[in-house]
Amino acid sequence: MLNALEVFTTVAVGLMVGVEFSVAFVINRILDALPEDSGQLGRAHGGRMLGAVMPVWYIGSLVLVGIWAVAGWHHQGAGLVVAAGALLILSVIMSLLLLVPINNQGKTWTPDNRPADWKEQMNRWDRFHYVRVAVIVAAFALLVAALT
């Protein structure tokens, strides 16, 4: 049963990493290259859509890692799982303090109501997001290492 939990947790975190990596390095670059207001409207829609899904995914992944850490406490790799959990906690804290406030504003913007510095705010969100992606990639790598 522990093996199934380990695999399921690793896949769940890996998929989350893939989505966030794609947002950082593919989707936002595509949106930024669109003409006129299309990119800003796309980011607002993405903020609404992913803003509803990702909190559940982040917390769910953290819970799964916590269960793995407890269930596998006396098994090899438990320290790696705990370290991965700590990184996921850091990613949630970063999200709540740095990314969510910007996202909550950006998801309501339209070409008619967006602030003059909306691009700078999106660039700041992107920079924070790059760091968060690095944190969750590291957590995923630790989980993969714990499997061996």
Tens digit of each residue's pLDDT (9 = 90 or more) over 87-141: 999 999 999 999 999 999 999 999 999 999 999 999 999 999 999 999 999 999 9
Please give the Cα distance from 61 to 11 (Å, whole number).
Answer: 10
Separate counts of helices (H) and strands (E) for the chain: 6, 0
pTM for this entry: 0.94
